[in-house]
Amino acid sequence: MQARLVIPLSDTTQNPPVTADLAQIFEPIRDDLDLVEQEFVRHIQSRVALIPEMGHYIQNSGGKRVRPAVLLMAARLGGYTGDRAVLYASVVEFIHTATLVHDDIIDGADLRRGRLAVHSRWGNDITVLLGDYLYIKSMAMALTQDSLEIIRLLCDVTLRMIEGELYQLTKTGDVDITEDEHFEIIRRKTAYLFGGCAQIGGMLGGVTKEQEQALREFGFNLGVAFQLVDDLLDYTADESALGKPVGGDLREGKVTLPIILLLQRGGGEADALIRTVVQERTVSGEQWRDITRLLREHRTPQLAYAKAMEYATRAKSGLEAFPPSREREALVALADYILARDR
The reported pLDDT for the residue numbered 241 is 55
Residue pair 316/212 in contact by the 8 Å Cβ criterion: no
The reported pLDDT for the residue numbered 245 is 64
Quick check: helix, strand or coil at residue 46? Answer: coil
For the chain, 343 residues long, give each residue's pLDDT as a single digit of tens.
444 455 544 343 444 554 568 889 999 999 999 999 999 999 999 999 999 999 888 888 767 899 999 999 999 999 998 999 999 999 999 999 999 888 888 877 777 767 888 888 898 999 999 999 999 999 999 999 888 999 999 999 999 999 999 999 999 999 999 999 999 999 999 999 999 999 999 999 999 999 999 999 999 999 999 999 999 999 987 765 555 566 789 999 999 999 999 999 999 999 999 999 999 999 999 999 999 999 999 999 999 999 999 999 999 999 999 999 999 999 999 999 999 987 6
For the chain, which residues make up each domain, given as ranges?
20-340
Residue pair 150/253 in contact by the 8 Å Cβ criterion: no
The reported pLDDT for the residue numbered 20 is 64
Choose which CATH entry (3.40.50.2300, 1.20.1070.10, 1.10.600.10, 1.10.3720.10) describes domain 20-340. 1.10.600.10
**Nearest alpha-carbon partner for 91 in 178, 197, 204:** 197
Spatial separation of the C-alpha atoms in residues 135 and 316, rounded to whole Å:
31
Residue pair 262/232 in contact by the 8 Å Cβ criterion: no
Q: What are residue 115's DSSP bridge partners?
A: 112
Phi then psi dihedrals of residue 7, to 5 deg: -95, 115
